Structure 1
């Protein structure tokens, strides 16, 4: 039987002492609320379904995210760590004062709708994919809190709401004239690494992070392959090289200004600690693409273009995935936007073969 007592601050405290269960207590504004809570809790104990919720009621989302960033985020890739810190800041700004137990699907759905109607720094609406990834972080936080932290949460509220669609993905292609203009500008730069990096991306479909972290022993120009060990999906793979890509790597590996103590293929200037990191290309890339009249073209679009060209060359989905590192055919199809005019040419060739048969 629960004990209900009035506190010196004029609130009511319910204390439950039951054999086989830890002593629990909770304070309420009215005696009726204390009695109702005690009755429900004792009933749950009798039925064996009681869950200690006090920890989740005390811990705010802000505190939970800080713990997540300290315990879980460091186990992920540096790029993911940076992204999660940014998403956590946004979640804390809007929902940080709520306790984990107080966040309901309705509150999270309201957050979703508000974010989808918010203007970003560039004056455009926050993209649905950005909001989807924020909700993914929040959802994983709850999963960790339930499965590992033992906070007494009965369910994950993020699972019960609609997630924004990631969208159709970009389909920006690079035509031959644009390619000529772009690389003409890149080759004019005083540091040839910028052109080599872009050429490797266009010829191989490797991600920028995969290219920039390459060391010399990962590139085999004789066998014309690159061995990737640090990839987005944590699966090592061998990337075959075209003759053009091989030539770009030969020039990069024979770079006469490479320091003797640096093993990176594409190296940057020394940092404050005196060590060299990967080549910082972003600012120079943005300047070059504008000069070439390609303001809307992103570096990652080079990967998109490379994968699309592999498909157009007749490689199977499995062969393309082995080169690009895509784990699912669904993700791969988002990158393989075939040009309609190329398909017309293929259809004409098929009709010609039929007519001769």
Structure 2
């Protein structure tokens, strides 16, 4: 027979919640367990009584057996429509979470105190609040899928309850907006070092061409390495960039982008050794960039900053925000407005006057 008990659980802000735990035992071992949290004790008791009666009639559920957070993450990663469509960062974070203590809990036992403790431990290991924010956001997406996809009585409510306190405690936060632009001298030094490396017989990657193309095209390195020869429109000096990054649309976000400046010349001089124009691993390119940057003692410069550099150059040549967006692929102009405002703060004063 089923039984239930109610646990009084005070929250960090002083509020009290009542958690009703329903269990079924067989030969002294718990064979089924589920729980739900309520704001009032009488609601918890009512739900517990009803679930006890239902379970006494129907027996141990066979289609809704509770699993650990780890098992749910693995299910999510293995699902071609969930993990299969996730980006590299999300998959990396979820694979990291699989080995964390929080993943050992049953999914229905996950409560705000355990979530907050996980975040404290991550901060203690040197992770930034922005990095820990990814843990919470991606864990939430896994729990959100549990009920509609796998029919489990699990939701993301506990994560949502944790977020305001995590923000208040400074354990999670948004990443700081970057404004770093490489100087002309820095770019010249990096390009010279790349050409020295390219002269070595073992080097197969045209680092200098790829770096300059990244600036002129304003593309992400993943986009640069994925464009194909059959996507090149040589007559109109444009190329089709497939599946551009968009938080609202993961697949099918294709965009035809003009190859401005000398970008088309860089493309045309590449050897046709593959169906891709730059058939190289984007990780190898960014790693090579980091090694050169370190060797030259250039501080706080990332490969992704080249994309911002390209957008800044377009603004400096007189392009309007909507025209720059046609190159960068930004659907939301907010980021481009920030880039423009940092380049020309005097325009705002002139407008006011």
| Gaps in structure 2 of 5+ consecutive residues | 5-21, 34-41, 55-59
Alignment equivalent of 2:66, drawn from 45, 58, 69: 58
Q: CA deviation at 1:110?
A: 2.1
2:286 to 273, 282, 285: 282
Can you list the C-alpha shifts for 1:95-127, whole angstroms capped at 9, x where unaligned? 122111100122212212331232xxxxxx212
Q: Is the 8 A contact 1:116 1:126 kept in 2?
A: yes
Aligned: 1:298 with 2:302: yes
**How far is the alpha carbon of 1:328 from its aligned partner?**
2.0
Residue 321 (structure 2) pairs with residue 321 (structure 1): no
* Counterpart-to-counterpart distance in 2, 1:337 and 1:67: 45
2:263 is aligned to 245
- Whole-Å Cα distance in 2 between the matches of residues 110 and 226 of structure 1? 48
Distance 1:194 1:103 in 2: 47
Is 1:184 aligned to 2:192, yes or no? Answer: yes
Q: Could you say if the C-alpha distance between residues 157 and 332 of structure 1 is closer, same or farther in structure 2, counting changes exceeding 3 Å?
A: farther
Q: Is the 8 A contact 1:56 1:153 kept in 2?
A: no
Higher-Rg structure is 1
Matched, 1:76 2:76: no
1:310 equivalent in alignment to 2:306? no
Deviation at 1:282, TM superposition (A): 3.2
SS in 2 for 1:227: strand
Q: Aligned equivalents of 1:25 and 1:336: distance in 2?
A: 60
| 1:330 pairs with 2:334 | yes
Calculate the TM-score normalised by the size of structure 2. 0.71
Distance between the aligned counterparts of 1:95 and 1:55, measured in 2? 24
Map 1:1-357 → 2, pairs under 5 A: 14=3, 26-27=24-25, 40-43=47-50, 58-71=66-79, 73-76=82-85, 80-81=87-88, 83-118=90-125, 125-153=126-154, 156-162=157-163, 164-188=172-196, 189-190=198-199, 193-233=206-246, 234=251, 235-252=253-270, 255=271, 258-259=272-273, 262-268=274-280, 280-333=284-337, 338-339=342-343, 343=345
SS in 2 for 1:166: coil
How much does 1:60 deviate?
0.8
Deviation of 1:267 (Å): 2.6
Query: Number of matched residues?
Result: 299
Structure 1 residues 230-265: Cα deviation after superposition (integer angstroms, max 9, x where no partner)? 32224111211223212211222xx3xx43xx2221
* Distance (Å, rounded) in 2 between the aligned partners of 1:220 and 1:147: 43
Query: In structure 2, the residue corresponding to 1:264 is in which secondary structure?
Result: coil
Q: In the superposition, relative to structure 1, how do residues 152 and 74 fare at CA in structure 2: closer, same or farther (>3 Å)?
A: closer
Distance 2:297 2:108 in 1: 52
Shift of 1:302: 0.4
CA offsets, 1:8-48, max 9 Å, x none? xxxxx559xxxxxxxx971398xxxx9x999743446999x
In structure 2, distance between residues paired with 1:278 and 1:133: 22
Farther off after superposition, 95-104 or 214-223: 214-223
Matched residue SS, 1:172:
coil
Aligned partners of 2:238, 2:230: CA distance in 1, in Å? 11
Tell me if the contact between 2:180 and 2:301 (Cα under 8 Å) persists in the aligned partners. yes
* Greater CA drift, 312-321 or 210-219: 312-321
C-alpha distance in structure 1 between counterparts of 2:138 and 2:348, whole Å: 46
Please state whether the residue corresponding to 1:338 is helix, strand or coil: helix
CA RMSD of aligned residues (A): 3.7
Paired position in structure 2 for 1:122: none
Secondary structure of the corresponding residue to residue 109 of structure 2: coil
Q: Which moved more, 1:207-216 or 1:330-339?
A: 330-339
